[in-house]
Amino acid sequence: MTQHVTLVLLSLLLWTTCSTPENKVETNAIDEMNVEKQAFGMAPEGPVEQYTLSNTNGMTVKIITYGGIITHLTAPDRNGVYEDVVLGFDSLAAYLQPHPYFGAIIGRYGNRIGGARFSLDGKEYPLAANNGPNSLHGGLVGFDKVLWSATEVRNEERVGIKLTRTSPDMEEGFPGNLEVTMSYYLDQENRLWMEYEAVTDKPTICNLTNHSYFNLKGAGNGTIEDHVIRFSARHYSPVDSTLIPIKGMASVRNTPFDFLHPKTIRSGLNDPHEQIQIGGGFDHNMVLGGNGSELKLAATVYEPNTGRLMEVYTEEPGLQFYTGNFLDGSITGKGGKSYPKHAAFCMETQHYPDSPNQSMFPSTRLDPGETYRTVTMHAFSTRNQSL
């Protein structure tokens, strides 16, 4: 009897002191999904709040009401350890200074509009030329540089925040009062949902996206060149020297843009194809196709050292694949880490660049009585081998 009790006690001691990946996950986990709010400083328009979404696995997503910026996003590695995988800053002060749109909502028009102008119903609308001769990401003060109103959302399936704002008629040169709702949701399957809606009182154009910079090794932990990518895109948009699409679309076959079969980002960057030399990396529209009403798998990204896997699903017809070509180490981010060239990648789900000026592209026109709706979802998981 004494020997039996001793064996039981030893077994309990070993079980409680054993350090396993599963135990690491449990120490991060909480009892229920949650939304927490805290102050995050003062912007020119008023106080900024930071909302933390968390699920019971230990995943967290932090969003601020200035620019709707995702400041933190934690994802597990193959050992169950969660780490922040998006670039950004520790304080609001840094976000108020010029930066490359880290984590922000982009609008009224994501991506570039050639010549910083477009025509609608015979009227030309000039825009701010804030990217060489072109207009980029909504102009000088886009949706990334304004304050949004926030409402918490909680139910049994997911938690989130709903951000709302009215962009006034002719803000940054765009016609119509545009009422925008952008919602972020986190669920129990480690999926981050981004849901966009907008209505207008005048004919206008609308193309919204999120500009998060990802590094699945962890934010600031080297480059993303060894990440393995797979796209569903069979075509891409060739561009001119200012990154405006030319020649419609082209096949990815026998080009660095062919990610139909998994390959590292490095293998694409090392390709001598002239398009990749613009900016020293990828900054191109991957043509996904679809009718805009079906959520489809657009991209899969795998980081072999950590085992982290990110899948991107979207209703959008395009995805701007950007490899942080204009980062140069001069920006100091979270934890005092610098962000060198290729420190992150972006996957901006959206309509094609310069669509208002290219009639063969899917239209970005929005009329009164219509509702702009689109959904993008990022799913995070792990695997033990490459794609």
Whole-angstrom Cα distance, residue 78 to residue 129?
A: 45
- Buried-exposed string 111-143: b where 16+ CB fall within 10 A, e elsewhere: bbbbbbbbebeeeebebbbbbeebbbbbbeebb
The verdict on whether 157 is a catalytic residue reads no
3-state secondary structure 351-376: CCCCHHHCCCCCCCEECCCCCEEEEE
CA distances, 119 to each of 175, 237, 314 (Å): 11, 22, 28
Of residues 361, 257, 374, 363, the one with CA closest to residue 314: 374
Of residues 146, 147, 159, the one with CA closest to residue 61: 159
Out of 316, 342, 348, 378, the active site residue is: 348
CA of residue 328 relative to chain centroid, distance:
20
Whole-angstrom Cα distance, residue 375 to residue 209?
A: 10
The verdict on whether 211 is a catalytic residue reads yes
Whole-angstrom Cα distance, residue 14 to residue 65?
A: 47
Whole-angstrom Cα distance, residue 362 to residue 10?
A: 67
- 8 A C-beta contact, residue 67 and residue 146: yes
Out of 211, 235, 284, 351, the active site residue is: 211
> Under 8 Å CB-to-CB from 175, ≥6 apart: which residues?
120, 125, 169, 202, 203, 204
Residues serving a catalytic function are 211, 348
